[in-house]
Each structure stands twice: as C-alpha cells, then as structure tokens.
Amino acid sequence: MLENTVWRQYHDENNFREKLAEFCKMDSLDLMEDDKELYSVLKSKLTKKELKLFAMDTAGVDTDAIKSEFGYDDEALEKAKFKLYKKLIQDKTRLPFRETANAEEF
C-alpha cells in the first residue's frame, strides 16, 4: 500500500500521517484512519510540486538538492516553503483530513 508514491521516494516509512498532523497542527488520531484515502486527500489539496516539496523537506533532503530539483534559488525556495506550510494550516486545506469531515458527507 502506497509504495509507489512521491512520499516513499524520499521516506523509508509511510509516516506522512505524523508529519501531516504536525504541520496541520492537528492530532494524528483526528485524521482519517485509512492511509490511502488520507494520502488521496493530501494529493488533491496540494499541487504536484507542493507535495514533492513537502516530501523532500520532511525527509531532510539537502537544501541544494531541493533547489536543483525545482530550479529555485534561496529566496524562491523559502517562498515556496512558506506558501506550502501556510496552505497546510488553512482550514480549507486541513479540515478534509479529519475523520469527522468525511462522516458528515454521507
């Protein structure tokens, strides 16, 4: 499950649930139980570039490697990270990750 994802390219474990909870300022127990569904919602809320940046940054990939991957300079990388992490704490992005948000849809 989730072996061929962008996340797994940079992480040895499927620990995106903990990282997502950390950056969204939520408890990991409040997140959806199904990892596949949670990852799907994450993919729908972030662009491909943002998802890859999130995976690389949380994996501790060297800053120079990240800059060369995206063609960023120092300032552009900082702006991209700021935009990404700002997006993760916005209610419209983080609320769909909650288990109760999906229960209300049914």
Q: What is the pLDDT of residues 38-79, one digit of tens each?
A: 889 999 999 999 999 999 999 999 999 999 999 999 999 999
Domain that holds residue 55: 18-101
Q: Give a yes or no: residue 75 inside a domain.
A: yes
Residue from 92, 80, 82 nearest 52 by CA: 80
Q: What is the pTM of this model?
A: 0.84
Total domain count for the chain? 1
Residue 11 within a domain? no
90, 25 Cβ separation under 8 angstroms: no
Is 9 domain-assigned? no
pLDDT digits (tens, 9 = 90+) for 14-35: 788 888 888 888 888 888 888 8
- With a cut of 80, say whether residue 106 has pLDDT above it: no
Residue 25 counted as domain residue: yes
* Beta-carbon count within 10 A of 16 CB: 22
Residue 106 in domain: no
